[in-house]
């Protein structure tokens, strides 16, 4: 069996698969519909879990949000219009599912001890990125990732969503608009506000200090001395 | 330190894109907004320095993005995806693993029997008549009542000694309330309630 989260080259596109599932459902052939829908789940499962982890951090909630979103998408597949991107349509369901859980968690947190106090950490805090060989470089890269995700988590809800979907997951403004239901101009405003805020949050962070692209920084990565 | 965002810097003859504009240009390119990015792109095509900075920014962001994705992807093991897939499949089949919705029952008050309704109406009428009659007759003995007088000692004028006394009184009252037999029943409940500090200490251990 093919591992989940991978797609077969030359396989039918998402939209064709979704249309076929709809057709089977209309014919009352539930088993065939589920079989085909399983293929769609496998294709998008990894990315969906990643998005859920951004919102809900490492917890059972993240897996449940993904499961809920896939089940909800299946039961509402009749609303899916042929010609639209399944991924975009599904991500919208997933983001709403995650936000519902974040809100529920906030309500619970008012009456319970904060999750951070109990040792629940950001997913990035537990995992090292095994690409660089030197321990210093590895530590710095890992640190940068953690700081960035921490800063993103401090953004207001909409700004966070827009940054995660566009800058981390690589969606275009139009796709983010379809995923969130916000207008493209609104997304641009949220995105630039978020970037400005992120820069302010990370400006004093040593892990992000003096990148090579900053104005007045030489190719060596060092700022020229002030006259 | 956060500074006011400027679009350009350098002399009139040799302007360069500011850091803010460079980030803006990169973001616009990433999100597919090439029409909006055009105004900066024209300059970048002609300016080697800005082109180099844009490339460096692009690489920096791409590396950061790869690290973030790799970090999160490392948590998503094949076993986890398999488990998740099985649960989704079971839920679609309608078997175990399905999350049942919280039972939503519209709460309607039970219809009151006619006799009880009559009693309630009579009691309400009696109360209204009593209040009305009381207002009409007026106070029976106004002289015997202690008239309300404004307090002569304002809280600001009260010295520290008076404050101390009132605090002591309050603490005495609390002590007395705690030792009263009526609160005994609550003590068992209080002991069952976890303290937030204990829970934190246990979690840290």
For A23-57, what is each residue's pLDDT tens digit? 888 888 888 999 999 999 999 999 999 999 988 88
Percent of chain A's residues with pLDDT above 70: 74
| Average pLDDT value for residue range A132-138 | 66
Q: Identify the pLDDT of residue A119.
A: 43
CB contact under 8 A, B71 and A192: no
pLDDT at B86 over 90: yes
A50 in B contact zone (CB under 8 Å): yes
Contact of B28 with B61, CB cutoff 8 Å: no
Q: DSSP letter for A172, please.
A: -
B67 in A contact zone (CB under 8 Å): yes
Nearest in space to B25 (alpha carbons), one of B60, B66, B58, B3: B58
Q: Identify the pLDDT of residue A41.
A: 94
pLDDT at A123 over 70: no
pLDDT at A17 over 80: yes
pLDDT at B136 over 70: yes
DSSP letter string, A119-147: T---HHHH---TT-SSHHHHHHHHHHHHH
For B188-202, what is each residue's pLDDT tens digit? 666 666 666 677 677
Q: How far is A168 from chain B (nearest CA, A)?
A: 6
Q: Identify the pLDDT of residue A67.
A: 95
Residue A204: Cβ-neighbour burial (10 angstroms; 0-12, 13-18, 19+): exposed
Q: Which residue has the higher pLDDT, A99 or B169?
A: A99
Q: Return the minimum-mean-pLDDT range out of A204-218, B92-106, B122-136.
A: B92-106
Q: Provide the sign of the torsion angle of the four alpha carbons A18, A22, A27, A31, taken in this order.
A: positive
Q: Identify the pLDDT of residue A5.
A: 45
| Average pLDDT value for residue range B5-23 | 71
Inter-axis angle of helices A14-27 and A30-56, to 10 degrees?
130
pLDDT confidence band for A177 (50 / 70 / 90): very high
Altogether, the residues listed in chain A come to a count of 227
C-alpha to C-alpha distance for B69 and A108, rounded to whole angstroms: 29
Q: Identify the pLDDT of residue A115.
A: 42
Residue A28 neighbours by CB under 8 Å, 6+ apart: none
Q: Identify the pLDDT of residue A38.
A: 93
| Average pLDDT value for residue range A102-120 | 60
Residue A173: its H or E element: helix A173-180
Q: Return the minimum-mean-pLDDT range out of A61-70, A73-82, B138-147.
A: B138-147
Q: Which residue has the higher pLDDT, A6 or B183?
A: B183
CB contact under 8 A, B63 and A149: no
B119 in A contact zone (CB under 8 Å): no
| Per-window interface: A 79-98 vs B, CB < 8 A | none
Contact of B29 with B44, CB cutoff 8 Å: no
Percent of chain B's residues with pLDDT above 70: 58
| Average pLDDT value for residue range B61-74 | 86
- Choose, out of A94, A101, A213, A223, the residue to mutate when testing the contact with B (most B CBs < 10 Å): A213
Q: Return the minimum-mean-pLDDT range out of A27-41, A129-143, A149-163, B145-159.
A: B145-159
Q: Return the minimum-mean-pLDDT range out of A203-212, B47-56, B112-121, B141-150.
A: B141-150
A67 in B contact zone (CB under 8 Å): yes
pLDDT confidence band for B97 (50 / 70 / 90): very low
Among all residues of chain B, which has the CA nearest to that of A39?
B85
CB contact under 8 A, B74 and A3: no
pLDDT at A22 over 60: yes
Q: Identify the pLDDT of residue B3.
A: 44
For B111-124, what is each residue's pLDDT tens digit? 666 777 888 888 99
Q: Are strands B15-17 and B8-10 parallel, antiparallel or unpaired?
A: antiparallel
Q: Identify the pLDDT of residue A90.
A: 94
pLDDT at A223 over 90: no
| Average pLDDT value for residue range A100-121 | 62
C-alpha to C-alpha distance for B104 and A109, rounded to whole angstroms: 24
Overall fold of domain A1-120: Rna Polymerase Sigma Factor; Chain: A (1.10.1740)
Q: Which residue has the higher pLDDT, A71 or B174?
A: A71
Which residues on neighbouring strands pair with residue B15, listed in sequence order? Answer: B10
Q: Of B52, B71, B92, which has the smallest distance from its Cβ to A34's Cβ?
A: B92
For B45-66, what is each residue's pLDDT tens digit? 888 888 888 888 888 888 888 8
**Structure-block tokens of residue A24:** 């089977």
Q: Identify the pLDDT of residue B12.
A: 60
CB contact under 8 A, B203 and A117: yes
Q: Identify the pLDDT of residue B65.
A: 87
pLDDT at A208 over 90: no
Percent of chain A's residues with pLDDT above 90: 28
């Amino acid at each position: 069996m093919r591992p989940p989260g991978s797609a077969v080259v030359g396989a039918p596109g998402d939209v064709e698969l979704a249309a076929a599932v709809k057709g089977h459902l209309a014919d009352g052939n539930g088993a065939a519909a589920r079989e085909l829908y399983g293929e769609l789940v496998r294709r998008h499962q990894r990315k969906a879990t990643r998005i859920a982890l951004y919102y809900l951090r490492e917890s059972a909630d993240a897996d449940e949000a993904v499961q809920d979103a896939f089940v909800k998408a299946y039961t509402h597949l009749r609303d899916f219009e042929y010609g639209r991107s399944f991924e975009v349509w599904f991500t919208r369901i997933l983001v709403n599912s995650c936000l519902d859980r974040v809100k529920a968690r906030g309500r619970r947190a008012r009456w319970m001890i904060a999750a951070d106090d109990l040792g629940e950490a950001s997913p990035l805090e537990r995992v090292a990125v095994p690409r660089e060989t030197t321990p210093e470089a590895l530590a710095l890269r890992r640190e940068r990732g953690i700081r960035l995700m921490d800063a993103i988590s401090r953004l207001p809800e909409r700004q966070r969503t827009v940054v995660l979907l566009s800058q981390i997951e690589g969606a275009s403004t139009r796709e983010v608009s379809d995923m969130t239901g916000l207008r493209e101009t609104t997304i641009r405003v949220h995105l630039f506000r978020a970037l400005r805020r992120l820069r302010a949050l990370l400006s004093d962070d040593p892990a992000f200090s003096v990148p090579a692209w900053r104005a007045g920084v030489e190719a060596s990565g060092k700022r020229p001395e002030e006259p | 330190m956060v500074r006011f965002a400027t679009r350009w810097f350098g002399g009139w003859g040799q302007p360069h894109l500011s850091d803010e504009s460079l980030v803006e240009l990169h973001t616009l390119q990433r999100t597919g907004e090439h029409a909006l990015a055009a105004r900066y792109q024209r300059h970048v095509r002609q300016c080697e320095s800005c082109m180099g900075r844009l490339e460096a920014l692009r690489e920096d962001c791409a590396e950061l993005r790869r690290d973030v994705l790799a970090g999160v992807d490392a948590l998503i093991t094949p076993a986890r995806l398999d488990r998740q897939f099985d649960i989704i499949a079971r839920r679609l089949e309608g078997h175990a693993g399905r999350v049942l919705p919280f039972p939503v029952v519209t709460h309607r008050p039970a219809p009151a029997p006619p006799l009880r309704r009559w009693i309630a109406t009579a009691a309400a009428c009696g109360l209204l008549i009593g209040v009305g009659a009381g207002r009409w007759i007026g106070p029976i003995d106004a002289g015997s009542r202690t008239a309300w007088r404004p307090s002569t000692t304002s809280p600001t004028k009260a010295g520290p000694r008076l404050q101390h006394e009132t605090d002591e009184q309050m603490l005495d009252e609390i002590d007395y309330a705690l030792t009263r037999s009526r609160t005994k029943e609550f003590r068992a409940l209080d002991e069952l309630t976890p303290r937030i500090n204990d829970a934190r200490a246990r979690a840290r251990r």
